[in-house]
Structure 1
Amino acid sequence: MELQRVYKLLLWATLVNLARLVQGRFVAGPWIYAAHATFYGDDDAAATMGGACGYGNLYQSGYGTATTALSSVLFNNGLGCGGCYEIRCVNSINCYAGNPRLVVTATNLCPPNWAEPSDNGGWCNPPREHFDMSKPAFMTIAYWHAGIVPVAYRRVPCIKTGGIHFNMQGNNWWLLVYITNVGGPGDISNVMVKGSNTGWMTMTRNWGTAFQIFYSFQGQALSFMITAATTSDTVTAWNVAPPSWQQGATYEGGQLR
C-alpha cells in the first residue's frame, strides 16, 4: 500500500510539472479540412514584401518567404496578422508525396474578388477560409502549376528568437509603433503604453500590427503591455525604450509564449 501511495505521489508531481510547462503557453489547435491554398508573386517572393500587416521587408523583419495572405474571414480586420499556421496539401494529385507540412506566418490580406465566383477565381471571397501563400512556400507542399490545392491547416505556436520588436515611428506628438516578432499566438488585440512619467494609456490600431497614440513621450522610458488576440494572454515589456529613444529605432523586450 505504501509503495502504491509513493507511485501516486510521483504521478501527481509529474502531472503538476507538465501542467506548469503548458500553462500560459499557446498550443497547437485541431486540424481543419475546409480550406484551399493558392500563391502570389514569383520565385523570389518580392511581391510578398510589405502587405496589409505592416511587416515591411519580410527578410529584414525575420519572416522570410514562409508567409501567407489570409482571406478576409481569417484576416479578421487585422486581428489575424502574425498568427502561425501549419499547412499541408491534401486530397489532390498535385500534393507532394507524403503530404509535407509547412508553418507560415500571416502577413497580408487576400481581398475578395467579387467579379469572380467563389469557386472559380474568387478564392478569397467570404466565407471561404483561404491561404494565398508566397510561391516558395506553396512549392514546399504542392506542384506550383496546380494553381490551387485543397489543404488542411491548424493554428500552431509562433516560435521566435528573442523578445517582441518595437519599431518606433511618428513624430513628437504622435507615437506609431510597428510590433513584430511576436511569439506564442503571434497575434495582437490590444496594446497599452506607459511612459516613465505617465500611467498606462491605450493605443489604437492604425493598421495591421501598427499601433498609435497621440501624445508626447519625449524624454520618457517606454513600457508596453501586449494582449494576444487568440488567447487574451498579456505580457508586459518593461522599459523597452530608454528615455533617449528615437523614431526609426527598434527596441526589444517581453514575449508571449
Structure 2
Amino acid sequence: MALSLSASFATLALISLVLLNPCIAFKPKKLMNYSSDYSDGLSWLSGSATWYGAPTGAGPDDNGGGCGFKNVNLPPFNSLTSCGNTAIFKGGKGCGSCYQVKCTGHPACSGNPSTIVVTDECLYGICSDANYHFDMSGTTFGSMATPGQEDALRHAGRMAIHFARVPCNYQGLNVAFHVEEGSNPMYLAILVEYANGDGDLSLVEVLESTPGATWTPLRQSWGAIWRLDSSHALQGPFSVRLTTLTSGKTLVAENVIPADYVPNTVYQSAVQFSPVL
C-alpha cells in the first residue's frame, strides 16, 4: 500500500521549513474513543507531516474543512484532525477515515500514537512530494510530542511519521445526518457524520416515503456531502442507506430525515456501524 521514505527525504524531514498552508479551508458532547488498543499489531507505514492554523487549533479558521464537517474544534473531534493528500483524501471519499500517527525522529517525539480523523484536503507543494502526507492541525501535530514538548515539536517543521489505518469509534454516538443549507423539495444535500468502523463512504442512497419507491443514489457533491437533484418534489420522511468504501459494509437509517426537515439541522439516527475495519 505504501512506499518507504527515501534516505534523502528522511534527512529533509528534520529541517524546519517555512511553509504556506496548502489545505482547502472552505455538536455533540461525546468524545471519540482514542483507545490505545490498536497501538500494537498494526502495519505501520511511512509518511510525512506538517501542520497549519493555530498552534493549538483545529486547522481551518472556520473549524471546518474540505470534507464539510462542522465545528471540528469541538467534541467528538476535539481538533485532532488532519488534511490528507490525494492518497488519503481520495477525492473526498477518504473523509471521516481514522488513523493513528506517531513520530520518533525528533527529541520531542513521544513515540506514542495519536488517533486522528481526516477532515480536510491537502493539495500541491508539500502535499504532493510524498506518497502519503498529513497536513495536521496544530493540536494533532503537538499530540505526537512528549507532554510539555508540543511547541518544540511544532517548531521542527516537516516531520517523518509512521501511520496506520484504524477503525473509528465515536463512543455513545450513532450516525448523524446534517441536512445542508439550500435543501428544498427538489434538492436534498446531506452531510454524513460519526460513522464508526471504516468512517469512509462509497455510496449514499435515500428512500422516499411513497408507494413503490426505490433506493435512489446521491451524487457526491464535495467532501462528505452528498446531494440529490430531483425532477419531482421529494416526499419524506426519508430513509438513508450507507455503503462504506473500505469494506463495503451497509447500514440503513430508517425514516431518519423527517418530511418537515429544517435545513442546517442535524438528525440523529438510531443505528451505527460496528467499530471495526
Q: Please tell me the TM-score bracket, short chain as reference.
A: 0.7 to 0.9
SS in 1 for 2:88: helix
Residue aligning to 1:16: none
Residue aligning to 1:255: 272
**Alpha carbons 2:57, 2:73 under 8 Å: kept:** no
Match of 1:65 among 76, 79, 83: 79
- Relative to its length, the structure with more strand (as a share) is 1
Matches within 5 A, 1:131-210: 131-142=134-145, 143-160=153-170, 161-169=172-180, 170-197=183-210, 198-210=213-225
Q: Deviations over 1:93-131 (max 9, x none)?
A: 3413xx121000000011112xxxxxxxx2x11552011
1:42 maps onto 2:59 in alignment: no
Mind listing any 5+ residue stretches in structure 2 that lack a counterpart?
A: 1-36, 146-152
Residue aligning to 2:18: none
**Moved >6 Å (runs of 4+):** none
**Alpha carbons 2:51, 2:135 under 8 Å: kept:** yes
- Relative to its length, the structure with more helix (as a share) is 1
Residue aligning to 1:109: 121
1:87 maps onto 2:101 in alignment: yes
Instruction: Report the alpha carbon displacement of residue 184 of structure 1 after superposing the two structures with TM.
Output: 0.8
1:226 maps onto 2:242 in alignment: yes
Q: 1:217 to 1:92 in 2, by over 3 A?
A: farther
**Alpha carbons 1:61, 1:181 under 8 Å: kept:** no
Normalising by structure 2, what TM-score?
0.74
Instruction: Report the alpha carbon displacement of residue 44 of structure 1 after superposing the two structures with TM.
Output: 4.0
Residue identity matched to 1:210? I
Q: Distance in 2 between matches of 1:103 and 1:89?
A: 13
Instruction: Report the alpha carbon displacement of residue 177 of structure 1 after superposing the two structures with TM.
Output: 0.5
Matches within 5 A, 1:8-47: 30-45=42-57, 47=59
Q: Deviations over 1:176-230 (max 9, x none)?
A: 1111111111111100000111221010100000000012565521100001111
Larger Rg computed on CA atoms: 1
Identity percentage of aligned residues: 28
**Alpha carbons 2:85, 2:132 under 8 Å: kept:** yes
SS in 2 for 1:62: coil
Q: 1:126 to 1:145 in 2, by over 3 A?
A: closer
SS in 2 for 1:139: helix
Moved more, 188-197 or 167-176: 167-176
Mind listing any 5+ residue stretches in structure 1 that lack a counterpart?
A: 1-26, 114-121
RMSD, matched Cα: 2.0
Instruction: Report the alpha carbon displacement of residue 60 of structure 1 after superposing the two structures with TM.
Output: 5.0
Normalising by structure 1, what TM-score?
0.79
